[in-house]
Amino acid sequence: MSNGQNRILDEFARLMTDAAGAAQGVRREVETAFKAQAERILNTMDVVQREEFEAVREMALKARAENKTLAARVEALEARIAELGGADESSTGTPKAG
């Protein structure tokens, strides 16, 4: 009788394993269908993808840093021009015509 019990338990275990595998397959199919539908909806809404957003964000950060550097250079050049303009005025005694 114990041999019959083992066989029933083995069959039950095999049935549960098959059911779990089938459930995983169904889960994967549902996830794939959901992702495809969500992607279609997002594409109709003109929503940007994360990778594109990150790329543009990096470009903006780089441009902002370059702008700060260029602003500092312009400021230094303007100060130098003002300095040179002041030197011209003091050497001749008359302001330079601009």
Same domain, 55 and 88: yes
* Residue 74 domain boundaries: 48-98
Q: How far is CA 93 from CA 63, 80, 85, 96, 98, in A?
A: 44, 20, 12, 9, 15
58 and 41 within one domain:
no
Query: Are residues 54 and 28 part of one domain?
Result: no
3-state helix, strand, coil in the chain (%, to 5): 90, 0, 10
* Distance separating alpha carbons of residues 86 and 68, to the nearest angstrom: 27
Q: What is the pLDDT along the chain (98 residues), one digit of tens a residue?
A: 457 778 888 888 898 898 988 999 999 999 999 999 998 888 888 888 899 999 999 999 999 999 999 999 999 999 999 999 877 665 555 555 54
> Is the domain of 63 the same as that of 88?
yes
- 1 lies in the same domain as 41: yes
Instruction: Say how many domains are in the chain.
Output: 2
CB-based contact 96:85 (threshold 8 Å):
yes
> What pTM did the predictor assign?
0.44
CA 44 remoteness from chain centre: 20
